[in-house]
Structure 1
């Protein structure tokens, strides 16, 4: 994953045509994340997984609930929501997952994500009872992700809105080994290039459902 620069994110609770899915999988993106906040079910995850598996692109399950976990993915991302006000989203749900799936876990396929949710209007912000951090908070979370928890990923999640490139740049200076992943509101090639200037990896998700042609162009924008 160290060489990845672009990931598409697909929501198993949303519809995508076979034609559009083929374009996503053959776009040149480095990987596809399957994940969402609302109405993520095992049936929905399995359906999307089976369709993506027709192609060679690596496929990741970002775990949002234990009930939708299934074998068959190349990687599993487990979020730890660092700015949640509930310990549940930093430790308890992960603890439950370990109890349930420890004998089946292949740790070389599992990556923990230090999540920092930065959009108050986002469903994930409300669902995980987050507190909106200021700049110093975000920088401290990034520092903690790498130095204290040794997490492989620090994920700046703006979920549905375009974030602050200046803050992403400042966060990038805090990280040496931990990958900086940015997600949220990227709808154009220009925005993709702007965020990729500072983030190691950008994630493009919502615009696949709102402005598909522009979303697909984001791959060439940072790889071309």
Structure 2
């Protein structure tokens, strides 16, 4: 049976080990009522800065997971681990190559009962993650839905992460993607800069991931927690 530590997450704060965060801000984030802290970044993630951030988060009771894109940064002690693959990449190493290398060298060390696969659909061509992974992010809505169905129905990936990193995405497309999923848990990230957009994303995704705004406007970031929870209650009441 696959791990399910993420199944009840509605709101998640994502922290980048490379980006400095002071103790007061971290305290506010970890005691905000968010469902979890996700640690990860597109570049500059190292074993040392990941250990440092995790040890600081571990002073709090909030669940904490790690997005493991480089096995050399495989820090033990998280509640769960996500292994990302990029669906719409043009570079095979981001689809399967790095994963084979990692399993060859570190497979015997991985805590398999705490690991889940995470299929990324990158939809902002100007984002760092799109550049890094060679993602064809300018695809049509029909292709985006088809990629999602490949991950969900053919590969049975437990998580589909629709990533607009740095900009707010197309919520109607996100709803269409969700409507076409059979079993995958849908994460959404990108452009959540306050309660209004957080509430919109919560109407479509299973889990809303809030990241960059933490470092730009802490009050706006904190306001997204209540906005997501309220939006979900209203959505469920209507349904």
Superposition TM-score tier, normalisation by shorter sequence: over 0.9
SS state at 2:17 partner = coil
CA distance in 1, matches of 2:107, 2:69: 17
Aligned structure 1 segments of 4 or more residues deviating by more than 4 angstroms: none
Q: Quick one: which of 216, 219, 222 aligns to 1:216? A: 222
Q: Which residue of 2 aligns with 1:189?
A: 195
Number of aligned residues: 224
* Counterpart mapping for 1:1-224 below 5 A: 1-132=6-137, 133-224=139-230
Q: Deviations over 1:77-97 (max 9, x none)?
A: 111100000111010111111
Q: Deviations over 1:113-143 (max 9, x none)?
A: 1101111111110000111221111101111
Offset of residue 2 of structure 1: 1.7
CA distance in 1, matches of 2:7, 2:42: 26
Identify the range of structure 1 (103-112 vs 119-128) with the bigger mean alpha-carbon deviation: 103-112
Normalising by structure 2, we get a TM-score of 0.91
After superposition, the CA RMSD in angstroms is: 1.0
CA distance in 2, matches of 1:3, 1:39: 30
CA distance in 1, matches of 2:147, 2:111: 27
CA distance in 1, matches of 2:200, 2:228: 9
Gaps of 5+ in 1: none
SS state at 1:7 partner = strand
Gaps of 5+ in 2: 1-5, 231-239
Q: Deviations over 1:160-199 (max 9, x none)?
A: 1110111101101111210111000101111111011010
CA distance in 1, matches of 2:49, 2:58: 14
